[in-house]
Amino acid sequence: MNNFNYKALPWNIVFGVGSLQHLPSKLDDLGYNCALVLSTSQQADQGRMISELLDNRAAGLFSEAAMHVPMETVYKAEAEAKKVNADCTVSIGGGSTTGLSKALALRMGLPNIVIPTSYAGSEMTDIWGMTENGRKVTGRDDHVVPTLTIYDPELTLSMPAAFTGASGLNALAQAVVNVASADANPIVMMMALEAVRALSKGLQKLNNNPNDIEARSAALYGACLAGGSLGTGATSLHHRLCHTFGGTFNTPHAETHTILLPHCVAYNSAATKDGTRRLAEALDVENAGLGIFELAKTLGVVTALKDIGITESDLDRAAAIATEVPVKNPEPVSTKRVRKLLENAFYGLPPQ
């Protein structure tokens, strides 16, 4: 057994089909009665539904949450929270809306009740992010971890098919890197392996029937545990590469994570033999990297960097930026080997 460190986060979770109905009584239990409801404009109807459910506990609706938590949105939401004298936020949506609730928790100390509707997993981490002048600043703080998270799988039935696949594989990535990882942490590993099992089974079933509520529950449960692995575990080369592409080339979050994942698993497989074997078992495949690549194909999720706006001439720059500062990774990282990995990912070839 390796030595390890494990720091728990203050999670408070209600999970189950129909659990949204507990929201008003949970708010009462927590002693809040003046909630600012948060959503994106695309989910404003769901925001209104939450306001109605909360009845006189809802003070207002702010439906302008946006990708990457722009500062101007944070300022507007803050002003609204002050205007209505909010004593908490109740957010409904994906990672972007949860991100706004975290920004308000950090800056104003507003308790946040989060109702996730995608598989982003942000509600299980202490990671916050805000974007100003095109630069995303991130940090970690226990205060941004939701006061309460309500997972109701029924709310994920409306996810479009392509979003289900990409968001689900993005969640899978959060878990996978903590199975085949440099500092295998047995507690995080347990969570991550269960996440991989639940997500891979759930997502494959959803591919055949997106309305299968048991499969929706499995995928959301998997996403919860995957987010937990991200919140309490380690990151490695995969994370560095995703940041490089997102930050420098503005590629979409979930797709970038999905495309690079099988290649990073293959890259680390010799250095993380035991983890990679356990990963393959959890995925119920022979070869973990290839299994993830094929799962992405089955789910119809994009598997090539060239299909998300990257050109071949970007690869040298990406490999150089990603390896500029040393990265903690089970397998030693060199610019040359990373360039080769990126070339495979660029063409959408099976991982090597």
* Residues found near ligand NAD in the complex (CB under 6 A): 40, 42-43, 67-68, 93-97, 99, 117-118, 120-122, 125, 127, 129, 155-156, 158-159, 167, 230, 253-254
Residue with smaller CB distance to ligand NAD, 42 or 334: 42
Residue with smaller CB distance to ligand NAD, 249 or 350: 249
Q: Which helix (H) or strand (E) holds 35?
A: strand 35-40
Q: Please, what is the minimum distance in Å from the beta carbon of residue 271 to ligand NAD?
A: 26
Q: Which helix (H) or strand (E) holds 241?
A: helix 237-249
Q: Please, what is the minimum distance in Å from the beta carbon of residue 102 to ligand NAD?
A: 7
Closest residue to ligand NAD, judged by C-beta, is 95
Residue with smaller CB distance to ligand NAD, 26 or 253: 253
Query: Cα separation of 79 and 84, whole Å?
Result: 9
Q: Which helix (H) or strand (E) holds 25?
A: helix 23-30
- Reading the block at residue 212, the tokens are 């299968």
Q: Please, what is the minimum distance in Å from the beta carbon of residue 247 to ligand NAD?
A: 11
Residue with smaller CB distance to ligand NAD, 205 or 243: 243
Q: Please, what is the minimum distance in Å from the beta carbon of residue 213 to ligand NAD?
A: 13
CA 190 from chain center: how many Å? 18
Do the Cβ atoms of 62 and 91 come closer than 8 Å? no
**Residue 284: partners with Cβ closer than 8 Å, 6 or more residues away:** 200, 291
- How many Cβ atoms from other residues are within 10 Å of residue 48's Cβ? 15
Q: How far apart are the first and last CA of the chain?
A: 30
Residue with smaller CB distance to ligand NAD, 120 or 198: 120
Closest alpha carbon to 49 in 40, 59, 41, 37: 37
N residues, the chain: 352
Residue with smaller CB distance to ligand NAD, 117 or 232: 117
Radius of gyration of the chain (CA): 20
Residue with smaller CB distance to ligand NAD, 47 or 289: 47
Query: Cα separation of 180 and 17, whole Å?
Result: 32
Do the Cβ atoms of 206 and 215 come closer than 8 Å? yes
Q: Please, what is the minimum distance in Å from the beta carbon of residue 8 to ligand NAD?
A: 16
Strands (DSSP E) contained in 46-153 are: 58-65, 88-93, 112-116, 127-132, 135-140, 148-151
Q: Please, what is the minimum distance in Å from the beta carbon of residue 123 to ligand NAD?
A: 8
Q: Please, what is the minimum distance in Å from the beta carbon of residue 200 to ligand NAD?
A: 19
Compute the C-alpha angle 60/64/65, nearest 5°. 105
Q: Please, what is the minimum distance in Å from the beta carbon of residue 235 to ligand NAD?
A: 11
**Residue 70: partners with Cβ closer than 8 Å, 6 or more residues away:** 130, 131, 132
Q: Please, what is the minimum distance in Å from the beta carbon of residue 127 to ligand NAD?
A: 4
Residue with smaller CB distance to ligand NAD, 96 or 217: 96
Residue with smaller CB distance to ligand NAD, 132 or 274: 132
Do the Cβ atoms of 299 and 217 come closer than 8 Å? no
